């Protein structure tokens, strides 16, 4: 099973090397690594070039934001399964992709996901939050549940069938996509009960209270654009669940 991993980066010279190394260290034998660069102005491209043909595709050009860049990578990908690893994140172990492939085959799954650790930006060994995703049950999105997007691996034919990222959702584009795939179209999921990704803190949607309010409105919009009706408390429960991640 070929797995395509897409990393989107812009001016990521400080962390891109760690991300690349974590992908290239994977034991799974068939990995297609794609890097989409937003025309970085620092030394990001020079670092990427040092890895030569070990990175299968490098595309560097201006884009309309992170989700536009992700869509470019999805269109280029040729693997049966697609994963997205941000330029300041790393896989937690070298067997992550091997486990993803095994679970998809054994459970005849369309998608898999796992747990995630938030780590300090300047100290990847210092854990600041723990996201235990838990097994999915139909209807969980109505209670504020969602899987950690960096741990979400989806078959490429699901993108082809149900669409890729919407560019009108702001930072909630990943939430909308997973809501559409899992809750609306009921792709078959499998939960890997282990940490798959270590993610440096500093996400745009949570950086300020104002950004959190904007993200909350976009969460509501995600339901509306899919013709879905949430509970009154659905989008309020989503940030409340995040508070619990500080007390694993």
Residue-wise pLDDT tens digits, 218-238: 999 999 999 999 999 998 899
| Mean of all residue pLDDT scores within the chain | 94
The pTM assigned to this predicted structure is 0.94
Over range 112-141, report the average pLDDT. 95
Over range 101-122, report the average pLDDT. 97
3-state DSSP call for residue 134? coil
pLDDT at 103: 98
Q: Is the pLDDT of residue 111 over 50?
A: yes
Q: How far apart are CA 47 and CA 5, in angstroms?
A: 18
Range of the domain at 225: 3-244
Residues contacting 109, CB < 8 A, separation 6+? 103, 188, 189, 190
> Which CATH number fits the domain that encloses residue 32?
3.90.550.10
Q: 36, 230, 247, 22: which is closest to 146 by C-alpha?
A: 230
Q: 122, 97, 156: which is closest to 18 by C-alpha?
A: 122
Q: Domain count of the chain?
A: 1
pLDDT at 208: 58
């Amino acid at each position: 099973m070929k797995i395509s991993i897409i990393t989107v980066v812009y001016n990521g010279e400080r962390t891109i090397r760690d991300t690349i190394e974590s992908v290239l260290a994977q034991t799974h034998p068939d990995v297609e690594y794609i890097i989409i660069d937003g025309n970085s102005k620092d030394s990001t491209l020079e670092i990427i070039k040092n890895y030569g043909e070990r990175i299968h595709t490098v595309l560097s050009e201006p884009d309309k934001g992170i989700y536009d860049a992700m869509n470019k990578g999805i269109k280029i990908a040729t693997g049966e399964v697609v994963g997205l690893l941000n330029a300041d994140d790393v896989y937690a172990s070298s067997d992550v992709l091997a486990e993803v492939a095994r679970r998809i085959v054994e459970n005849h799954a369309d998608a898999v996901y796992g747990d995630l650790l938030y780590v300090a930006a300047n100290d990847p060994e210092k854990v600041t939050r723990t996201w235990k995703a838990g097994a999915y049950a139909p209807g969980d999105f109505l209670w504020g549940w969602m899987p950690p997007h960096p741990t979400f691996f989806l078959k490429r034919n699901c993108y082809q069938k149900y669409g890729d990222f919407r560019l009108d959702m702001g930072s909630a584009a990943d939430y909308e996509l997973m809501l559409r795939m899992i809750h609306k179209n009921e792709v078959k999921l499998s939960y890997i009960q282990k940490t798959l990704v270590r993610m440096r803190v500093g996400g745009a949607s949570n950086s300020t209270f104002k950004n959190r309010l904007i993200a909350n409105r976009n969460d509501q919009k995600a339901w509306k654009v899919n013709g879905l009706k949430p509970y009154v408390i659905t989008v309020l429960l989503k940030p409340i669940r995040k508070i619990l991640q500080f007390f694993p």
